[in-house]
């Protein structure tokens, strides 16, 4: 509970000054009428000051957001419940919820007196314009008297939060991303993805590929066992997001990083819709590996909602981890800023032959020559390695960038 | 509705009308009030209408002004209009009204006759006032600021009424203004957010009625305090400070009071100062008033002295006129502290000897002894004649050649002689007539009042016709010593008895052996001349204010007032109107320490009920800390073992920390409480360790097997409380000390036990 600041309002101070002057002048000049007015003002002040609760209202606040997770520009209703845990009834107060400006105006409400141990509730809605995990609160409370003479501000600690996921733009793809030059069957790596987790074992049947025999199981069971093979093949898409602070330009909602996040979310949603098993690889400093891998749509959205730009060495771990996912082919989407030569080589090598790799490289519209040059070199290197590349500034509509990239989608041919 | 703000507009209009009411006694007849009230209401309604039309404050105010001025044109200047349009005639009427108003106000004593120009100017002033109050309080939502124009108007009325305004005049504007504040504050609170929190499971309730009830209570307390307290608080005499400053400018004698040497009969009495002007000791058991001067020229309602010329008689004092046959006393009075300014010299009776250097005494044309230079203390041996009634009857003053003392006032002559025929027929002897006049004036027909009555005579058009001041007094029978003395002097002169007005002081208040005369003891009385007796003091002013009339002035004591001591508040011989240049008796010198102590003592005596109440409240507040400490000690004494003692100490520590708003959460374990307290009390290393010890001991007391070793943690808890207190602001520490939770608990327990016993 923060300490309250001065108790008298501007009007209160003015009343105090004028009341004292009137009282003194009245007594000194022997004018009882002046004294009378002075006493009226001072008595009003004194009674209000005395009755103004000296302690701040002792409240506990809880917030419930419905929905707890939402997209940008969606509306959530926040239900705020106030519990009087103090030792007396609270005075009439007015409250203001301290919110990030991106959540819209700070909601204000009147809090009628709350009895001992009683609850009071109030609802407001927020409509965030920026993705992220936004804190709700703390609540600032002013206790005021009806004469506007005293006003005591205090802060009711305790915050809630809502998660605002990035905006998802509907993307359209010119041709199936997994399709290469030939038929689907001709790109087996891309289709028959068998991650370690996907394995199951069944008995050998005639016609099974001998290479699929699982020898340890065979030894244990005493009969030939093979790795499961007749599951529907799932195509894999790997999205890499470069969150290095230094490479991005702009601030806030219009920064290039936000554009990247939006793009990543859109691609993620789009590929998930198309039936890909999507992996989102993002730098994560809280993790030993320095990288975070999300596979469910919800988890990926949450990651994208919370992600922030980080230090320069963050992307290296992502590249390193990506090898494990791209080794068997699949769609690769890299959202990067300009990379140095080593990193560019590491990135370009992630693309397997026959698979589609899309690189979107941020080149700042204005700014340093060097970062623009770096982006140009990265694009050139990726392009020569068979990537579909685009230079993005962070202001293009994501859908257009995507359709331009994929509309002319031809594996191995630079646009 | 919210934008129109009908309720605040009504309150603003009410406040404006409320400050117009105190002007009622100043302008008579009161027909002007009807017009003013109507105009204020029109301005208020215009405000509501204009707010409907426009949101701009400037447009609203301009509209109100235009509507108000048009209303003035239609109501007061209709005869000058040409089809509702102002003409040249209108302009000349308005331009003529202002100087006419100024003339009325400066030349007439209150009440001023409310003639057409006066009404017009008042109407314009109150329209402007109403517009400014409405604009501030309603349109701009600044009711606090609206207090300033209201205050200005109220103070203007108050400063022009001599005795101050009755508190009833204060009630309406004060209540309306406070209501404006509360209304605006409440609507601001409720409008704060569009949303109002609702109790869980309940409906949203409008908090406004609850707050307004609260506000009403606060307002009642404040207004009650404002009504009661000014009567209790000590006030310096009016203009004490202002005159003190002004006197320095005149470069005159910086020390001393002076008694105004003119008396205006029509003026209200202003000065009720309690400043001492004189202290004396006397061997006279029944000292007469101290005479300062005599006035015998009366014209236009003002008494003036014959001339200010002083003669140096070489210390010789005027001889007494009384013949040897008249009984007399010759007491001595020793004045110890004379604060009157030269040349005035307060003397009782007819002075025989004064123990000061002869060259410092002067005598004026009336035989009054005056002085030059300082005369802080002096002893005077004086003669006090006590003629018998027979001697008075025998002395026939009629046919005297004292023309100055026989001049009658032409303005009131008819009125006086008509009354005189009923009161004292011309065929009686002079003494008999004087007795009858005094008895008539002292009778219950007359009311003693410092405020004069309003005019009673009106002409055909309903306008007040100001009577001359003496006729006015005789018609209304309401006044103070100046009027009574004037009436008696004039009536005596009508009957051919030389008479004059003496001014001076009543004997004052006896304190031990010392008499103290204060400014408020100033008095005026008539003196009638009887040959071979001299100037004889009469006392026509009724009863308690002046004490008993002298024995020789009473025929058979038919209508004397009750015998009263001279310590009763008495009348002032002087009066002043706001435009009077001559000040009333005042003292520019700072009162001495003894005087201050006497003043404080007198004030305490006069206000013993409020003082006692305040004292009781103060005592009950002051014993709260004591009760808390007693309660703690008793609990410690009653504790059966160390474990209980530790609990008591812990609870006491929690209570004392609560006083400085350091609180553990509800339901926290001792350890959690320790962490919370350490954090929120900003404890340092030593006190943190002390708190650890207290909590560890408490845990052992609670949870260890009985008989565990429990150290005494009194010192530790004291250290914690002390450190936590030192982290807080001084005001909070003082409050915590004066009004501790433990003390409050003790009060609560006492109340409960009384309550239980009562049942």
Which pLDDT score is estimated for B572?
38
Give residue-wise pLDDT tens across range A289-298: 778 888 888 8
Q: Which of A231-240, B334-343, B684-693 has the weakest average pLDDT?
A: A231-240
Residue A192 lies in a domain: no
The whole-angstrom distance between residue B88's C-alpha and the CA centroid of its chain comes to 47
Average pLDDT for B117-142: 92
Residue B136 DSSP class: I
Taking CB atoms and an 8 Å limit, are B182 and A146 in contact across chains? yes
Instruction: Return the pLDDT at B36.
Output: 93
Contact of B177 with B15, CB cutoff 8 Å: yes
Residues A357 and A218 in one domain: no
| Mean pLDDT across B298-319 | 78
Pairing of strands B534-537, B522-530: antiparallel
A75 and A110 inside one domain: yes
Nearest by CB to residue A48, choosing from B189, B218, B239, is B218
Chain A residue numbers with beta carbons less than 8 Å from the beta carbon of B221 are 43, 47
Write out the E strands in B256-413: 263-264, 276-282, 290-295, 297-299, 302-304, 310-311, 328-329, 332-338, 347-348, 350-354, 361-364, 369-371, 378-385
Residue B331 has pLDDT above 80, yes or no: yes
| B235 Cβ contact partners less than 8 Å away, ≥ 6 residues apart | A26, A27, A30, A31, A32, A35
- pLDDT at B12 (0 to 100): 94
With contacts defined as CB-CB under 8 Å, which chain B residues touch A4? none
- pLDDT greater than 80 at residue B251: no
| Closest alpha carbon within chain A to B141 | A148
Model pLDDT for residues B185-239, shown as the tens digit of each residue: 888 888 777 788 888 888 888 888 888 888 899 999 999 999 888 888 887 766 5
Q: By the 8 A CB rule, do B76 and B119 touch? A: yes
State how far the alpha carbon of B582 is from the alpha carbons of B244, B371, B519, B590, B610, in Å.
13, 20, 15, 21, 37
Burial zone of B745 (CB within 10 Å; 0-12 exposed, 13-18 middle, 19+ buried): middle
Cα–Cα distance for residue pair B449/B443, rounded to 1 Å: 14
Question: Is A170 inside a domain boundary?
Answer: no
Q: Could you tell me if A260 and A390 lie in one domain?
A: yes
What angle do helix axes B31-53 and B6-20 make, rounded to 10 degrees? 160
Q: Which residues contact B744 (CB under 8 A, 6 or more apart)?
A: B624, B628
Q: What b/e sequence results for A223-236 when a residue is b if at least 16 CB atoms lie within 10 Å of its CB, and e otherwise?
A: eebbbeeeeeebbb
Nearest to B571 by CA among B486, B469, B474, B448: B448
What local confidence, expressed as pLDDT, does residue A263 receive?
92
- Residue B349 has a pLDDT of 83
Answer whether A56's CB lies under 8 Å from A143's CB. Answer: yes
Minimal Cβ distance to B200: which of A85, A121, A147:
A121
What are the CA-CA distances from residue A125 to residues A72, A103, A141, A162 (Å)? 14, 9, 19, 12
Give B736's contacts in chain A (Cβ within 8 Å): none
Nearest chain A CA: its distance from B473 CA (Å): 27
- Nearest-CA neighbor of B696 among B724, B656, B669? B669
Low-confidence ranges of chain A (pLDDT < 70): 1-6, 53-55, 174-199, 228-234, 366-368, 408-415
Comparing B582 with A211, the larger pLDDT belongs to A211
**Given an 8 Å threshold on Cβ–Cβ distance, is B154 in contact with A114?**
no
Judged by average pLDDT, the poorest of A147-151, B96-100, B360-364, B718-722 is B360-364
Q: Name, in order, each residue with C-beta under 8 angstroms of A250's C-beta and a sequence gap of 6 or more.
A: A256, A257, A258, A394
| Residue A322 is assigned to a structural domain of this protein | yes
Q: How far is B17 from chain A (nearest CA, A)?
A: 17
Task: Give the bridge partners for B82, in sequence order.
Answer: B85
Q: What is the pLDDT of residue A192?
A: 42
Q: How confident is the model at residue B108 (pLDDT cuts 50, 70, 90)?
A: low
Omega within 30 of 0 (cis) for the link into A138: yes
Q: Both A264 and A302 in a single domain?
A: yes
Inter-residue contact B272 to B239 (CB < 8 Å): no
Same domain, A213 and A249: no
* Separation between Cα atoms, residue A279 and residue A295, nearest integer Å: 5
Which chain B positions have a beta carbon within 8 Å of A156's beta carbon? none
Interface of B with A in 445-504 (CB under 8 A): none
B231 inside 8 A of chain A by CB: yes
State which of A186, A214, A231 marks the end of a domain: A231
Domain of residue A210, residue span: 200-231
Within 13 Å of residue B284, how many CA atoms lie on the same side as its CB? Answer: 25
Within the 149-168 window of chain B, which residues sit less than 8 Å (CB to CB) from chain A?
151, 154-155, 158-159, 164-165, 167
Cβ pair A163, A303 in contact under 8 A: no
pLDDT at B316: 80
Helix (H) or strand (E) holding B718, with range, is helix B714-726
Q: Enter the ipTM.
A: 0.71
Two structure tokens written together for B545:
């204010």
β-bridge mates for residue A238, sequence order = A279, A332
Contact A55, A49 (CB under 8 A): no
Mean pLDDT score of chain B: 80
CA distance A185 to B375: 134
What phi and psi values does residue B608 have, to the nearest 5 degrees? -70, -30
The residue-averaged pLDDT of B44-55 equals 91
Q: In the structure, what pLDDT confidence band is assigned to residue B585 with cuts at 50, 70 and 90?
A: very low
Q: How many residues does chain A have?
A: 415
Residue B68 has pLDDT above 90, yes or no: yes
Residues facing residue A140 across a β-bridge: A96, A155
- Put simply, the answer to whether B195 touches A92 (Cβ < 8 Å) is no
Rounded average pLDDT over B162-189: 87
B8 touches chain A (CB under 8 A): no
Q: Which of A29, A92, A108 sits opposite B239 (nearest CB)?
A: A29
Tell me the chain A residues in contact with residue B164 when contact means C-beta distances shorter than 8 Å.
Answer: 31-33
Q: How far apart are CA A147 and CA A129, in angstroms?
A: 39
Q: Is B468 helix (H, G, I), strand (E, B) or coil?
A: coil
Q: Quick one: average pLDDT of B45-61?
A: 91
Q: Tell which B residues from 191 to 210 touch A, by Cβ distance under 8 Å.
A: 192-200, 205, 207, 210
Q: How far is CA B263 from CA A358, B478, B572, in A?
A: 111, 17, 11
User: Which of B190, B661, B663 shows the shortest C-beta gap to A110?
Assistant: B190
Q: What is the pLDDT of residues B611-651, one digit of tens each?
A: 777 888 888 778 888 888 889 888 988 888 888 889 999 99
- B273 neighbors B262 (Cβ within 8 angstroms): no
CATH number at residue A92: 2.60.40.10
Length in residues, chain B? 759
Whether residue A367 sits in one domain with residue A249: yes
Q: Is residue A184 part of a domain?
A: no
Question: Touching check for B734 and chain A: CB below 8 Å?
Answer: no
Give the pLDDT confidence of B704-739 residue by residue, as tens digits.
888 777 888 889 999 999 999 988 888 888 888 888
In a domain, A195, yes or no: no
Reduced to 3 states (helix: H, G, I; strand: E, B; else coil), residue A139 is: strand
B622 or B139: whose pLDDT is higher?
B139
Residues whose CB is less than 8 angstroms from the CB of residue B721 and which lie 6 or more positions away in sequence, other chains included: B653, B656, B657
Three-state SS annotation for B538-596: CCCCCHHHCCCCCHHHCCCCCCCCCCCCCCCCCCCCCCCCCCCCCCCCCCCCCCCHHHH
Question: Across the A/B interface, how many CB contacts are shorter than 8 Å?
Answer: 182
Q: Rounded to whole angstroms, how far apart are CA atoms B490 and B496?
A: 10
Residue of B221, B226, B236 with shortest CB distance to A36: B226
- Does the pLDDT at position B273 exceed 70? no
Residue written as tokens 């004052």?
B508
Distance CA B7, CA B13 (A): 10
The C-alpha of B696 sits at a distance from chain A's nearest C-alpha, in angstroms, of 27
The answer to whether position A185 is within a domain reads: no
Q: Which residues, at least 6 apart from B399, have a Cβ–Cβ distance to it below 8 Å?
A: B496
Q: What pLDDT digit, counting tens, does each position of B514-556 carry?
A: 888 877 778 888 998 888 888 888 888 876 556 667 777 766 4
Same domain for A361 and A259? yes
Q: What integer pLDDT is reported at residue A15 of this predicted model?
A: 92
Q: Which of A34, A37, A33 is nearest to A25 (CA)?
A: A34
* Per-residue pLDDT reduced to its tens digit, B476-505: 888 888 888 888 998 888 888 889 888 888
Locate B696 and state its tokens: 């560890």
**Band of pLDDT at residue B43, cut at 50, 70 and 90:** very high
Question: Hey, is the C-beta of B727 within 8 angstroms of any chain A C-beta?
Answer: no
Given a contact cutoff of 8 angstroms between Cβ atoms, the answer to whether B524 and B289 are in contact is: no
In Å, how far is B179's CA from the nearest CA of chain A?
Answer: 9
Enter the tokens of residue B394. 């025998």
A39 and A97 together in one domain: no
Query: Closest approach of chain B CAs to the CA of A85, in angstroms?
Result: 7
The structural domain count of chain A equals 4
Choose among A47, A48, A120: nearest Cβ to B199.
Answer: A120
Q: Which of the residues A6, A19, A36, A63 would you substitute to probe the B interface, choosing the one with the greatest number of B C-beta atoms within 10 Å?
A: A36
Burial profile B564-601: b = 16 or more Cβ within 10 angstroms, e = fewer: eebbeebbbbbbbeeebeebbbbbbbebeeebeebbee
First to last CA, chain A: 62
**Residues of chain B contacting residue A124, judged by C-beta atoms under 8 Å apart:** 195
Three-point CA angle A79, A80, A82, nearest 5°: 145
CA-to-CA separations, B706 to A366, B142, B696, B701, in angstroms, rounded: 79, 68, 15, 8
Identify the CATH number of the domain in which residue A284 sits. Answer: 3.40.50.410
- In DSSP terms, which residues pair with B290 in a beta bridge? B348, B505
- The answer to whether B616 faces chain A, any CB pair under 8 Å, is no
């Amino acid at each position: 509970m923060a300490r309250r600041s001065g108790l008298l309002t501007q009007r209160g101070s003015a009343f105090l000054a004028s009341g004292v002057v009137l009282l003194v002048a009245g007594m000194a000049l022997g004018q009882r009428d002046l004294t009378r007015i002075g006493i009226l003002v001072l008595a009003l002040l004194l009674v209000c000051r005395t009755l103004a609760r000296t302690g701040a209202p002792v409240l506990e606040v809880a917030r419930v957001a419905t929905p707890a997770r939402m997209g940008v520009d969606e509306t959530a209703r926040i239900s705020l419940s106030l519990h009087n845990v103090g030792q007396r009834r609270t005075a009439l107060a007015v409250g203001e919820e301290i919110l990030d400006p991106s959540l819209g105006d700070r909601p204000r409400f009147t809090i009628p007196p709350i009895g001992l141990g009683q609850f009071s509730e109030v609802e407001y809605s927020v409509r965030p314009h920026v993705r992220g995990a936004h804190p709700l609160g703390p609540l600032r409370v002013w206790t005021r008297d009806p004469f506007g003479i005293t006003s005591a501000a205090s802060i009711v600690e305790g915050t809630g939060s809502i998660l605002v996921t990035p905006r998802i733009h509907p993307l359209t793809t010119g041709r199936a991303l997994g399709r290469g030059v030939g038929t689907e069957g001709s790109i087996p790596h891309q289709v028959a993805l068998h991650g370690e987790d996907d394995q199951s074992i069944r008995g050998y049947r005639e016609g099974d590929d001998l290479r699929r025999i699982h020898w340890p199981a065979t030894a244990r069971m005493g009969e030939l066992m093979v790795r499961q093979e007749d599951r529907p093949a799932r195509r894999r898409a790997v999205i890499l997001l470069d969150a290095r602070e230094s490479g991005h330009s702009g601030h806030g909602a219009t920064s290039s990083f936000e554009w990247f996040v939006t793009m990543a979310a859109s691609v993620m949603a789009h590929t998930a819709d198309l039936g890909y098993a999507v992996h989102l690889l993002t730098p994560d400093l809280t993790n030993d590996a320095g990288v975070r891998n999300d596979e469910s749509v919800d988890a990926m959205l949450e990651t994208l909602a919370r992600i922030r730009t980080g230090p320069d060495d963050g992307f290296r771990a992502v590249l390193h981890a990506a090898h494990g996912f791209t080794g068997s082919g699949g769609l690769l989407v890299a959202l990067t800023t300009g990379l140095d030569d080593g990193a560019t080589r590491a990135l370009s090598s992630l693309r397997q032959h026959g698979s589609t790799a899309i690189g979107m490289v941020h080149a700042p519209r204005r700014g340093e020559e060097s970062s623009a040059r770096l982006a140009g070199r990265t694009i050139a290197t990726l392009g020569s390695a068979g990537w579909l590349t685009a230079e993005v500034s962070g202001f293009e509509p994501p859908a257009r960038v995507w359709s331009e990239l994929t509309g002319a989608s031809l594996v191995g041919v630079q646009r | 509705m919210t934008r129109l703000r009908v309720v605040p507009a009504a309150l603003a209009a009410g406040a404006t009308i409320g400050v117009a009411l105190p002007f009622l006694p100043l302008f008579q007849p009161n027909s002007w009030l009807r017009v003013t009230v109507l105009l204020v209401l029109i301005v208020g309604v215009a405000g509501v209408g204009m707010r409907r039309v426009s949101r701009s404050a400037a447009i609203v105010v301009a509209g109100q002004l235009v509507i108000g001025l048009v209303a003035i044109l239609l109501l007061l200047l209709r005869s000058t209009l040409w089809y509702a349009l102002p003409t040249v005639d209108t302009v000349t009427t308005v331009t003529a009204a202002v100087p006419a108003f100024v003339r009325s106000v400066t030349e007439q004593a209150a009440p001023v006759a409310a003639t057409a120009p006066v009404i017009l100017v008042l109407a314009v002033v109150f329209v402007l006032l109403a517009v400014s109050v409405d604009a501030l309080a309603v349109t701009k939502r600044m009711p606090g600021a609206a207090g300033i124009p209201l205050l200005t108007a109220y103070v203007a009325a108050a400063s022009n009424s001599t005795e101050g305004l009755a508190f009833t005049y204060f009630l309406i504007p004060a209540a309306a203004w406070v209501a404006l504040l509360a209304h605006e504050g409440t609507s601001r609170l409720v409008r704060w957010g569009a949303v109002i929190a609702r109790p869980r499971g309940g409906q949203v309730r409008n908090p406004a009625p609850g707050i307004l009830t609260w506000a009403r209570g606060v307002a009642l307390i404040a207004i009650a305090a404002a009504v009661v307290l000014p009567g209790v608080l000590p006030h310096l005499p009016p203009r004490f400070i202002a005159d003190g400053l002004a006197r320095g400018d005149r470069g005159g004698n910086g020390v001393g009071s002076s008694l105004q040497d003119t008396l205006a009969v029509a003026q209200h009495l202003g000065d009720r100062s309690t400043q001492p002007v004189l202290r004396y000791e006397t061997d006279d058991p029944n000292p007469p008033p101290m005479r300062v001067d005599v006035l015998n020229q009366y014209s236009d309602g003002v008494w003036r002295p014959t001339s200010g010329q002083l003669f140096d008689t070489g210390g010789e004092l005027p001889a007494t006129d009384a013949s040897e046959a008249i009984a007399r006393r010759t007491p001595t009075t020793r004045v110890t502290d004379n604060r009157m300014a030269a040349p005035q010299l307060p003397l009782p009776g007819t002075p025989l000897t004064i123990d000061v250097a002869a060259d410092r005494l002067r005598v004026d044309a009336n035989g009054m002894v005056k002085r030059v230079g300082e005369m802080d203390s002096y002893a005077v041996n004086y003669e006090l004649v006590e003629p018998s009634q027979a001697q008075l009857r025998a002395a026939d003053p009629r046919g005297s050649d004292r023309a100055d003392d026989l001049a009658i006032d032409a303005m009131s002559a008819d009125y006086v002689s008509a009354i005189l025929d009923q009161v004292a027929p011309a065929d009686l002897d002079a003494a008999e007539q004087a007795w009858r006049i005094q008895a008539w004036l002292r009778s219950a027909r007359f009311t003693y009042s410092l405020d004069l009555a309003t005019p009673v005579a009106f002409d055909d058009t309903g306008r007040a016709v100001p009577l001359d001041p003496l006729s006015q007094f005789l018609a209304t029978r309401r006044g103070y010593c100046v009027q009574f003395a004037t009436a008696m002097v004039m009536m005596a002169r009508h009957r051919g008895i030389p008479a004059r007005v003496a001014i001076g002081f009543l004997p004052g208040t006896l304190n031990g052996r010392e008499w103290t005369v204060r400014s408020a003891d100033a008095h005026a009385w008539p003196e009638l001349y009887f040959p071979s007796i001299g100037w004889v003091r009469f006392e026509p002013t009724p009863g308690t204010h002046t004490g008993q009339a002298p024995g020789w002035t009473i025929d058979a004591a038919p209508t004397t007032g009750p015998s009263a001591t001279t310590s009763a508040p008495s009348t002032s011989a002087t009066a002043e109107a706001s435009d009077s240049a001559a000040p009333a008796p005042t003292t520019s010198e700072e009162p001495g320490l003894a005087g201050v102590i006497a003043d404080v003592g007198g004030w305490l005596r006069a206000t013993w009920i409020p003082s006692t109440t305040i004292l009781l409240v103060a005592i009950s507040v002051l014993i709260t800390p004591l009760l808390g400490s007693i309660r703690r000690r008793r609990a410690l004494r009653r504790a059966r073992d160390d474990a209980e003692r530790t609990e008591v100490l812990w609870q006491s520590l929690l209570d004392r920390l609560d006083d400085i708003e350091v609180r553990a959460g509800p339901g926290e374990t001792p350890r959690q409480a320790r962490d919370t307290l350490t954090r929120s009390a900003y404890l340092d290393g030593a006190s943190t360790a002390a708190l650890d010890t207290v909590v560890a001991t408490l845990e052992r007391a609670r949870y260890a097997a009985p008989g565990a070793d429990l150290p005494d943690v009194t010192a530790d808890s004291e250290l914690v409380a002390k450190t936590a207190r030192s982290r807080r602001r001084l005001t909070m520490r003082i409050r915590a000390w004066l009004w501790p939770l433990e003390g409050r608990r003790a009060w609560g327990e006492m109340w409960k036990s009384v309550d239980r016993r009562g049942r």
